[in-house]
Amino acid sequence: MHRRAFLRLVPAGLLAARGAAVRATQPARRTRAILLGTAGGPSPKRGRAAPASVVLVDDVAYVVDCGNGVARQLVLAGVDLSRIRHVFITHHHSDHNADFGTLLLLAWTAGLKTPVDSWGPPPLARMTELFFEMSAPDIEIRIADEARPPLKPLVHPHEIREAATIVEDERVKVRCAVVHHPMVPIAMAYRFDGPDRSIVFSGDTTRSEALVALARGADVLVHEVLYPEAYAEAAAASARSVAKHIIESHTPVEEVGRLAQEAGVRTLVLSHFVPDNNADAERSWLPLARKHFRGEVIVGRDLLEI
Ligand SMILES: [Zn+2]
Ligand SMILES: [Zn+2]
């Protein structure tokens, strides 16, 4: 039968099932990544959750950033919270760390019994300590009432200040690089080399040569994006405006395409949209990202698997 005639006759649900069947015949990926929140900035947005992503290798979860609502976004993505093994914070802006402690606490209430290592710039250890102090009334009741193991001994914070290989286990190698995010003392990008794919997260940064080096030859680069024209007028009006700070702290989307080309990545995923304009995201961001990049470009959205 001619394909068009076939399409007219087959209900949409069956076609979706047929697509799933085709995918099922391909070898399953061991290294997966899901965008959990693709907004930029701390104020809650209607159409996008706060920044967070997860890399899954053989269903073991490596969480990158903990914007507000990260635990629920993981649940919506179908990730078992008790499978969290590592948590990585790129930098200490509230859109990236607001739910760092909350994620650990809620994962524990959902059945986490195994160690979690957390990684990020200082003062990650102190933040962890203070969160446990603040949450002690709830944690102590649940240990007594629900027979849960103590949470604090499960969590191991590691403060990082420079580029390094920070994790190397049987599933994945994780490296970090210091990027440039003005006013923030240390901001990190992370690269995951899994058994079948490599995925890099820029965190928040201006154009960074350290990031280009970290992302060299990666399969996927998830990079923050800025549409500078949206802030040009306000920035010009005042030398000390928030708009000026935004322009100086992030990477214009056109430049993101250029550096992705230089790094030689296969797929560029746009995320952390500043400003937020989901209604028209494909039309406004895509052509600019493609201007200097010849690979595949994906306009990120919440819960998208990449
Ligand atoms: Zn941010
Ligand atoms: Zn930031």
Distance 167 CA to ligand 1 centre (A): 24
Distance 51 CA to ligand 1 centre (A): 7
pLDDT in tens, 241-273: 888 888 888 999 999 999 999 999 999 999 999
* pTM for this predicted structure: 0.90
Residue 45 binned pLDDT confidence (cut-offs 50, 70, 90): very high
Distance 207 CA to ligand 2 centre (A): 14
Residue 278 binned pLDDT confidence (cut-offs 50, 70, 90): low
The pLDDT, as a whole number, for residue 24 is 54
Over 90: is that where the pLDDT of 65 sits?
yes
Ligand located closest to 186 CA = 2
Residue 25 binned pLDDT confidence (cut-offs 50, 70, 90): low
User: What would the mean pLDDT of 279-305 be, rounded to a whole number?
Assistant: 93
Of the two residues 20 and 199, the one the predictor is more confident about is 199
pLDDT in tens, 76-127: 999 999 999 999 999 999 999 999 999 999 999 999 999 999 999 999 999 9
Share of the chain above pLDDT 90, in %: 80
Of the two residues 17 and 274, the one the predictor is more confident about is 274
Distance 108 CA to ligand 1 centre (A): 26
Two structure tokens written together for 142: 């649940």
Over 80: is that where the pLDDT of 284 sits?
yes
The pLDDT, as a whole number, for residue 239 is 74
Ligand located closest to 272 CA = 1
Question: 3-state SS string over the chain?
Answer: CCHHHHHHHCCHHHHHHHHHHHHHHCCCCCEEEEEEECECCCCCCCCCCCCEEEEEECCEEEEECCCCCHHHHHHHCCCCHHHEEEEECCCCCHHHHCCHHHHHHHHHHCCCCCCEEEEECCCHHHHHHHHHHHCHHHHHHHHHHHCCCCCHHHEEEEECCCCEEEEECCCCEEEEEEECCCCCCCEEEEEEECCCCEEEECCCCCCCHHHHHHHCCCCEEEEEEECCHHHHHHHHHCCCCHHHHHHHHCCEHHHHHHHHHHHCCCEEEEEEEECCCHHHHHHHHHHHHHCCCCCEEEECCCCCEC
Distance 181 CA to ligand 1 centre (A): 10
Of the two residues 194 and 283, the one the predictor is more confident about is 194
Residue 149 binned pLDDT confidence (cut-offs 50, 70, 90): very high
What DSSP assignment string belongs to 244-285?
HHHHHHS-BHHHHHHHHHHHT-SEEEEEEEES--GGGHHHHH
Distance 159 CA to ligand 2 centre (A): 18
